Structure 1
Amino acid sequence: MLELGISKMALIGAVALIVIGPEKLPRVARTVGTLLGKAQRYVADVKSEVNRAMDLDELKKMKESVEQAGRDVEKGLKSASADFEKDWSEVTASLSDSGSGAGESESTPAWEPPPPEYHRPNKNWRLKRGATPQWYKQRRGVRRQVQSGAARVARYRPKKIHDR
């Protein structure tokens, strides 16, 4: 890679000033800057595309390995369930053969009724949850007790001013 230090850049700038001239140098510098920017963006796009392709290949390999593991697990479960069914049928066949001669054996439990259903007590729990505490009402000045009509009129009646 090119190693451009301050001294080399100053030498290139002096040569460009002499060759191109002071009138065209700013325009050429802008053009060179935009071209360099486009080249850097192109290189970055190519790098990201290559990285994406590599990641895609890795993901495909990982997907295949996960699918293979899933198939292996499925085969194992099928064989285990077949073994279980075979063992279960053998056990139930032996129990039915031994229990048929003597009637109902002592090892089998009698039928038990299901547990009773839950019944919620007749309490108004929504009222309890929605109730505002008395101290909060008092602090906010909320009326806590019912007031009769006469008491309300007396409370809000304008006070009379006695003239002498």
Structure 2
Amino acid sequence: MIDFGFDKLALIGAVALIVIGPERLPKVARTVGVLLGKAQRYVAQVQSEVNRSIELEELKKMQTGIQDAARSVEQTVRHELQEAESALAGSGTSEHDTPYSGADFGSEIHHTPYYASQPAARKNWRLKRGATPLWYKQHTGVRRHVQSGAARVARFRPPTGPR
């Protein structure tokens, strides 16, 4: 990058003072400052976009790597399962000795998601807020009683006159 020292900046300022004149120099300096600021913001925005795209590419590479690893693990497990099934089927055991034969191994296992086993919870935020302990509400600053601004001012106004 271009290196400007104090002596070079002073020389540029003196030439600008002679060429532009002392009346218009502050306005021109402000305009140049604004333009330089816009240019710096634009360069920073372009750099952030480039960094984002690089990070996105890295994440995509990582995702494909993880997916490949998951596929290889799945294939290994299936291969081992098939070997175990063939070993069980070829060991001379009859269907009466084992509850599963080689053909229907795993057919009785039902894959249901964990959230499908229970009914959906009722979504009532008032019950949820009411279930929060009072000490927690006081600690976190949750308002329990709503007051208008005028009522709040009247409540905390110092008393006037002798009582």
TM-score range, shorter chain: 0.5 to 0.7
Structure 1 residues not aligned, in runs of 5+: 98-164
CA distance in 1, matches of 2:4, 2:92: 87
Aligned to 2:135: none
Deviation (angstroms), 1:91: 4.8
Letter in 2 for 1:84: A
Aligned to 1:20: 20
Aligned to 2:50: 50
Structure 2 residues not aligned, in runs of 5+: 98-163
CA distance in 1, matches of 2:15, 2:65: 61
Secondary structure in 2 aligned to 1:93?
Answer: coil
Structure of greater relative contact order (alpha carbons < 8 Å, 6+ residues apart): 2
CA distance in 2, matches of 1:62, 1:70: 12
Secondary structure in 1 aligned to 2:2?
Answer: coil
**Residue-by-residue CA offset, 1:91-118 (whole Å, 9 max, x unaligned):** 5718x79xxxxxxxxxxxxxxxxxxxxx
Aligned to 1:142: none
Deviation (angstroms), 1:20: 1.1
Aligned to 2:39: 39
Higher helix share: 1
Scaled by the length of structure 2, the TM-score of the pair is 0.54
Q: Output aligned runs, 1:124-163, within 5 Å.
A: none
Aligned to 1:87: 87
CA distance in 2, matches of 1:49, 1:65: 24
Query: Between Structure 1 and Structure 2, how many residues are aligned?
Result: 96
- Asked if residue 61 in structure 1 is aligned to residue 61 in structure 2, the reply is yes
Deviation (angstroms), 1:59: 1.3
CA distance in 2, matches of 1:47, 1:2: 19
Secondary structure in 2 aligned to 1:23?
Answer: coil
Deviation (angstroms), 1:90: 4.4
Q: Give the alignment's Cα RMSD to 1 decimal.
A: 2.0
Secondary structure in 2 aligned to 1:22?
Answer: coil
CA distance in 2, matches of 1:7, 1:14: 11
CA distance in 1, matches of 2:81, 2:22: 88
**Residue-by-residue CA offset, 1:2-54 (whole Å, 9 max, x unaligned):** 21100010111111111111111111111000000000111111111111111
CA distance in 2, matches of 1:51, 1:41: 15
